[in-house]
Chains A and B, each alone.
Chain A
Amino acid sequence: MNQVALSAPVAAKRVDRTLWFGWFAFAFLIASQAIAIAISPPDRDMGDLQKIMYVHVPSAWMTMLAPLTVLVFALRYLVRGREEDDLLAAAAAEVAVAFAGLTLVLGMIWARPTWGVWWTWDARLTSTLVLFMILVGYLAVRALVDERERRARWSAAVGVLGAINVPIVYMSVRWWRTIHQIQSSPATVDPAYVIGLRLNAFAFLFVMIYCIRRRYDAALIERSAERASEAAALGDASVTGESLNGR
């Protein structure tokens, strides 16, 4: 059986390092946002609404990156069967759902003043919506299956197939849009905005890594606690008061 146990000093040290990284990530984020807002001129058409791009676009990029993470670790789990890979994939999926949700909400906030409607079936936003639904399915499988090993296998399979579909979904939605020749998606990027975007892209990347790390550590600690209680229950052969199920 795989041993996923953290000894107390190691766990504490890990949390320490993670905490420092977290502070760094958020500080970097705030700085990046401030710099981007300060140095970029108002957009011709959108005015100051353009600033939302510095949150929306990096968020969208992370929404692409996170499923890739899920794919990698789900595949690793299917191939090697190590629990850590499953827990990492699950952590990445939860963070991905959050980023996808953020991207969608920001996209809608942007769309309303720009186009007058909350939703335009724009290719990128629509693909993000489908990705969001695929991730919800992944989390539903994890929520509905109690048996740990089965839950890991099933969600890994769902994660891999879902991640593979992301580019296919994007392509089909884009074709679908061009056929019907509706207005194309907003924001082709002016060079003036590039620095702000790049800075924030990194900032979001750091924040995402931090969030996944935190979630993963929490899962590891849960798992260690489970193992400890299992060992305790097994070692105690004299417990007769415990009820025995069915068979």
Chain B
Amino acid sequence: MSIVSSPSPSMMPAIDATGVARRFGASWVLRGLTLRVEPGEVVGLLGANGSGKSTLLRILATLLRPHAGSARVCGHDVVVAPGRVRESVGYLGHAPGLYDDLTARENLTFAAAMLDRDEHDADRALERVGLLDVGARPVRGFSSGMQRRLAIARLLLVRPRLLLLDEPYSNLDASGVSLMNSLIAEWASAGVAALVVLHEDTPAAGLLDRTVSIENGRIESTRRSRVEPASPMAVRA
């Protein structure tokens, strides 16, 4: 199935976060982070373990509230209008978020019902990620790679303007990696922006417009990958 993005891409930035801060217990993970992603931009997010990459994604996906600062996704504030944000966003997190006792196909038809999509879209999505022949097996028996593929299939049912992908390549084998790459490329050419959490040596490098890295809870440097490889600009946001 081909990527469908929502009609009339907006002129508003896909992500407009200012001074975002979040703590867990007594320690601060994000401390006044500022980031801007334009519509259609594909941005890689780097950072050490525990630097707050996942936290940032979850805040932008409206799964966590910022304790300070503000974040707007596709023009909507994540705290004030989470419903609107959710209509525009596709989130792929660490946890697969699947129902173990349902089959792969049932998981997708459930997602289709929740997203008000046609049931046939569920089958097409299954096929696209290469899980059609195991569609009738309960997810409980799936490997983590297969679960990741199923989660990607679910993402195909959403029609996002912004993708938030948290280490999407983890657990994927070679064919899974190339699947992910071609999907991101298709999304990008359809005008969908993306913020992708990666590691340094992830195979997605060619797809990124730029990479940013988080240090000390803020965006500390940003590098343009498609332009000439200059030394990383240390932009204190």
Q: Please list the residues of chain A having a beta carbon within 8 angstroms of any beta carbon in chain B.
A: 1, 146, 149, 230, 233-234, 237, 240, 242-247
Contacts and interface: CB of A to CB of B under 8 A. Distances in A.
B24 A237 contact: no
Chain A, interface SS category: loop
A230 B68 CA distance: 9
Given A234-B32, A247-B55, 7 more contacts: A230-B23, A233-B23, A237-B218, A244-B50, A244-B52, A246-B50, A247-B53
A244 B68 contact: no
User: Chain B: interface secondary structure?
Assistant: mixed
Contacts of A247: 29, 50, 52-55, 58
A242 B68 contact: no
6 contacts: A230-B67, A234-B21, A234-B31, A242-B27, A244-B27, A245-B24
Contacts, number: 43
Contact of A244 (B29, B32, B58, B67): B29
Given A234-B68, A247-B55, A242 B28 contact: yes
B19 to A, nearest CB: 8
Contacts of B23: 230, 233
Interface of B: 21, 23-25, 27-29, 31-32, 50-55, 58, 65, 67-68, 216-218
Given A246-B50, A247-B54, A234 B28 contact: yes
Contacts of B21: 234
A83 to B, nearest CB: 13
A1 B68 contact: yes
Nearest to B80: A81
A226 B52 CA distance: 22
Contacts of B52: 244, 247
